Structure 1
Amino acid sequence: MSRWCVAAVSGATCSGKTTIARRLHASLAGSRLISQDDYFLPESDPRHRLVPGLDHFNWDTLSALDMDRLLADVTALTATSPPGILILEGFLVLNDGRVRQRCDARVFVTLDRATCWQRRQRRVYEPPDVPGYFDACVWPMYEQHEAALRREAEAEVTFLDGRRPIDELCRLVEAEVDKARVSCGLEKAAPPGGGGD
């Protein structure tokens, strides 16, 4: 009996996780993609936490996200037929234990501070980063979330170095998803130009 295969691609900001998830989605016909960025709370939500001294919300914590709604959407989608592959993408999708337990493939893309900072400076965010935000929130929260994930679920998660070439990262994640889809009873896609066995 086949069931939905849920694959999570998480990790540091600017680590390549969104590119990996989008490429994976494009390569898997009929797959679905849920981005955690679509679940940020509106700026008016009282659950946001101000960063002391910055007069800016901390957007790099689970409390800035509506994870209940994300989980409800995952639950609703995976109750439909026929089953397929659902890709979850986001910097904290694996740090919510309820979501993590729904996943069959779990990948976390790491990054060192210097590379993360270099890439982050080339990105535009809404709302934009204020001066000091990377040092006060982005990097310390990333270190905290990675450490917590390793503590709670290191054996369940594949950690990949985000400094590797993006094509290599995509191949490694595809291999993880291929293993998971087999365990879910879903047929592996035939390679391009070839037939199935």
Structure 2
Amino acid sequence: MAQWVVVGVSGVTCSGKTTIAQLLHHKLPGPSKLLTQDFYFYPEDSSHHVPAPAGLNHHNWEVTTSVDIEKMLKDIRAILGSPPSRFKDPPLEDSSSGGDEDTTRLSTFTKAVLLIDGFLLFGYHELYEMCDLRYFITLSRSECWQRRQHRHYEPPDPPGYFHHCVWPEYEKHLQYVSTLHGIRFLDGTTPQGDTCNFIFDDVVNLLEN
């Protein structure tokens, strides 16, 4: 794990977590790997799911039990135990990397960067502890609701799911995350490129020190 820097990007649904993590992944010219929590949801027919509140005929996908965290942690440990050179991909030509200066600086580092994004990352103590840098992106209820209406999920959100499940579960999670140390809270209405650059600078500073 000493060969890796682990960056966790979490926050409310529709806050741009995945897009920001992808931008960071493409911006880093050195070895990096991106892991997304959404790939670890249990299948719809899994017995791990609990019902959504308010009598909704739907699973509650907003809680930690909806994610196969053991499989996710196993994959993370495998990455951290691998030589960083396995994950050295060239940056995209249209990457907003900031130019040759960034490339020169990062190409001299021996550590790789593991980027993890997900809305419940810091709800798992072991995953929280693994992260060297932690970010949590927030939105107001009205902004989140507006964005959520333009997203398509499988299975689809039933009527009332956001108001009775998504937002109340987020508020519970935010209250818990607010008690943790070492998390930077960021505004989800900030342009995603600016947020990416902000986190990128933190990553570079950590790699240099």
TM-score surpassing 0.5?
A: yes
Tell me the alpha carbon deviations over residues 100-122 of structure 1, each in whole angstroms, 9 at most, x when there is no partner. Answer: 10011101001110000000001
Distance 2:207 2:170 in 1: 29
Matches within 5 A, 1:2-151: 3-29=3-29, 30-52=31-53, 53-82=55-84, 83-151=111-179
Aligned-residue RMSD, C-alpha: 1.4
Name which of 182, 186, 194 aligns with 1:168. 194
Q: How far did residue 4 of structure 1 move?
A: 0.6
Give the secondary-structure state (helix, strand or coil) at the position aligned to 1:158.
Answer: strand
Unaligned 5+ segments in structure 2 are: 85-110
Q: How far did residue 180 of structure 1 move?
A: 3.0
Q: How far did residue 181 of structure 1 move?
A: 2.7
Q: Which amino acid aligns with 2:17?
A: K
Give the secondary-structure state (helix, strand or coil) at the position aligned to 1:106.
Answer: strand
Q: Which amino acid aligns with 2:60?
A: N
Distance 2:123 2:152 in 1: 24
Unaligned 5+ segments in structure 1 are: 184-197
Distance 2:77 2:2 in 1: 16
Give the secondary-structure state (helix, strand or coil) at the position aligned to 2:178.
Answer: helix
Distance 2:204 2:13 in 1: 25
Identity among equivalent positions (%) equals 44
Q: How far did residue 182 of structure 1 move?
A: 3.3
Give the secondary-structure state (helix, strand or coil) at the position aligned to 2:51.
Answer: coil
